[in-house]
Structure 1
Amino acid sequence: MDLGRIGIWSLAFTHGDRGVAREAAAELEELGFGALWLGGNPGGNPRGDLATTAELLAATTRAVVSPACISMWHQPASALAAAYHAVPALMRDRLLLGLGVGHPETEQGYHRPYTSLRDYLDELDDLPAPVPRPARLLCAHGPRMTRLAAARAAGVQPHLTTTDHTARTRVLLGDGPLLAPSVSVVLETDPGRARRMARTALAPYLAQPNYANNWLRSGFTADDLAANGSDRLIDALFAWGTADRIAGQIAERLAVGADHVAVQVVTKATYGFPRAEWRALARILPDMHHFVPAWGARPPTGTAVDLFGTD
């Protein structure tokens, strides 16, 4: 499964207009993005039978499509496996299921997240037609879940984390499993405007203990998480500024061990398709067209210019 180095993470794939989603998916593949990440919670969506994912697979020919993150509480393992196998085999080769436990404030029945997810993976493995390990990854942040991903899935896709978190996650995973962190990007050079946009995007996550605990483990303090996030927190979690600065922050993730970076473009339209911004990213990150044969191979280290050039 070839993800390339750079993909696009967007809530619009799950919540936006279906026709526009198909058109955008085809264009993103043509621009050279190797994977499309469906942000939100497809498992809790009325179209949680992976119909949305199948539409995007049908609209593309090469890009990997990943619903990230499906909540294990919303879909029994047997139903998820049946939906996975209902996708035509040729398209299934490009389908990567993102699995997670969500948050206690939003998930009915949330309890013992690590044990529950481990048992869920057992159920997926024990079915007559299981979901194979290479076709699933975990939306994990903490060390226990990361180790579980290394043992039981293709790898991990952490959201809203720092470069240091990427480096530590690579150590926990070892050399083989996929590490595909998301990086939120604000295409704005004015510090005040960029940080305001970032804070608006971050606000829903600040209230989630799972995210807050991960940031505290990463060296931030309660003061950093107060009042919509300190500048230190914002600047660590979001890439903003000039093309070189944004490319440099994405390059840092690859240099410290990420196999692939899922880029979320932050705009004022939460569920909109920022197609102009995606095209701008394709110019900023030209080296993303170089697909890697498998996620076990490390990309070259170096500066932003080494990895991406300049616009």
Structure 2
Amino acid sequence: MGHHELDTVGQHEPHLGRIGIWAGELDRWPATDLREAAAVVEDLGYPALWFPEAVGRESVAQAAMLLSATRRTVIASGTASIYARDAVTAAAAQRTLDEAFPGRFLLGLGVSHPALVTQVRGHRFGPPVATMRAYLDAMDAAPFGPPTTSSSAPPRRVLAALGPKMLRLAGERAWGAHPLGMPVAHTRAARAVLGPRALLAVTQLVVLDRSRSRSADLARAHASTALPNRLTLLRDLGFDNAEALDDRVVDALVATGGTDDIAQRVREHLDAGANHVSLHVITSVPDEAPLRQWGELAALLL
């Protein structure tokens, strides 16, 4: 599989590898199941475990739980909301986990969604790129009292980025970008925006089921959920009738089929410029971790 190489600095660089797991439903799992799932991810050999933040567990606390349940796996808070904690707290939290678990925590930051920011958190939703830039400025200026025991380089961070402006900011002010749930064509476009040196860690939606009839409805339902934030971008990528959610759009957003089909989609992302692909395995029982599917994919991909 073709992939871009990254420059590394310091001994505590997170090593993501090429394939990871995106645990998109882990807020639905009890803490005991959560710890067991993290241990399974590690035992299967996945080098990275990503998770989101919305209205479930607080992102940094959850990262600490996952880090404590594992020994080697990089734990990545893929979309920690910048509205959930101020920049000084975010910087302190990142440095705290980097001190306790050197090289194993990757902070991924996102601007969240207007409804979550205004209606749930009670904040004003600002212009996404300008607000993120100001947040990163404040993080970089934040003081931190405890001694630094890790490398002299600051801990790595990535930005949840889809559009070209946020992608450019990710290339300028972070280790790179973490696009979630986009087609291979977007990976190729994102690499062009980021340039050759930045990290591009994409998340691919997956329904692992050879039965087309069983997987189609599940794939379409998740594609529908993902569509509103991606509609304009999909049109720019040539999906002119994306709002109709035809088979072409659904297939581009959600990889379905057997392990060979998923492996092919991973190869396409890597060949398009991704350094890392995390797999969000979708099932009809989201309250349970997809341990069987993770195992089947690991046997082929790792």
**So what's the TM-score if we normalise by structure 1?**
0.84
Q: Which residue of 1 aligns with 2:116?
A: 106
Residue type matched to 1:252 in 2?
A: E
Within a 5 Å distance, the mapping from 1:109-148 to structure 2 comes to 109-129=124-144, 134-148=155-169
User: How large is the RMSD of aligned CA atoms in angstroms?
Assistant: 2.0
Q: Which residue of 2 aligns with 1:308?
A: none
Counterpart among 230, 246, 265 of residue 211 in structure 1: 230
Q: Which residue of 2 aligns with 1:192?
A: 213
Contact 2:76–2:106, Cα closer than 8 Å, also in 1: yes
Q: Distance in 1 between matches of 2:198 and 2:27?
A: 26
Within a 5 Å distance, the mapping from 1:278-289 to structure 2 comes to 278-285=294-301, 288=302
Cα deviation digits, residues 160-217 of structure 1 (max 9, x gap): 11111111111111121111100111111222321211122233323x3x32222222
Contact 1:2–1:34, Cα closer than 8 Å, also in 2: yes
Residue type matched to 1:122 in 2?
A: D
Greater mean alpha carbon deviation, residues 164-173 or residues 145-154: 164-173
In structure 2, the CA distance between the partners of 1:251 and 1:201, relative to structure 1 (3 Å rule), is same
Residue type matched to 1:139 in 2?
A: A
Q: Which residue of 2 aligns with 1:293?
A: none
Residue type matched to 1:118 in 2?
A: R
- Report percent identity of matched pairs: 37
Contact 2:158–2:176, Cα closer than 8 Å, also in 1: yes
Residue type matched to 1:31 in 2?
A: L
Q: Which residue of 2 aligns with 1:307?
A: none
Q: Distance in 1 between matches of 2:163 and 2:235?
A: 11
Q: Which residue of 1 aligns with 2:58?
A: 47
**So what's the TM-score if we normalise by structure 2?**
0.86
Q: Distance in 2 between matches of 1:216 and 1:247?
A: 26
* 1:73 aligned onto 2:94: no
Residue type matched to 1:270 in 2?
A: P
Q: Which residue of 1 aligns with 2:198?
A: 177
Q: Which residue of 2 aligns with 1:20?
A: 33
Counterpart among 177, 180, 202 of residue 223 in structure 2: 202
* 1:162 aligned onto 2:160: no
Counterpart among 221, 224, 239 of residue 220 in structure 1: 239
Counterpart among 92, 96, 106 of residue 86 in structure 1: 96
Q: How far 1:133 sits from its partner (Å)?
A: 5.8
Q: Report how many aligned residue pairs link the two structures.
A: 278
Greater mean alpha carbon deviation, residues 7-16 or residues 276-285: 7-16
Residue type matched to 1:55 in 2?
A: M
Q: Distance in 2 between matches of 1:173 and 1:133?
A: 20
Q: Which residue of 2 aligns with 1:3?
A: 16
Q: Distance in 2 between matches of 1:14 and 1:86?
A: 23
Cα deviation digits, residues 253-301 of structure 1 (max 9, x gap): 111211110101010123420111111111221xx3xxxxxxxxxxxxx
Q: How far 1:134 sits from its partner (Å)?
A: 4.7
Counterpart among 254, 271, 276 of residue 270 in structure 2: 254
SS in 1 for 2:105: coil
Residue type matched to 2:222 in 1?
A: A
Q: Which residue of 2 aligns with 1:298?
A: none
Residue type matched to 1:220 in 2?
A: F
Contact 2:256–2:262, Cα closer than 8 Å, also in 1: yes
Q: How far 1:90 sits from its partner (Å)?
A: 4.0
Gaps of at least 5 residues in structure 1 are: 289-311
In structure 2, the CA distance between the partners of 1:39 and 1:88, relative to structure 1 (3 Å rule), is closer
In structure 2, the CA distance between the partners of 1:166 and 1:46, relative to structure 1 (3 Å rule), is closer
Cα deviation digits, residues 64-84 of structure 1 (max 9, x gap): 101110111221111222222
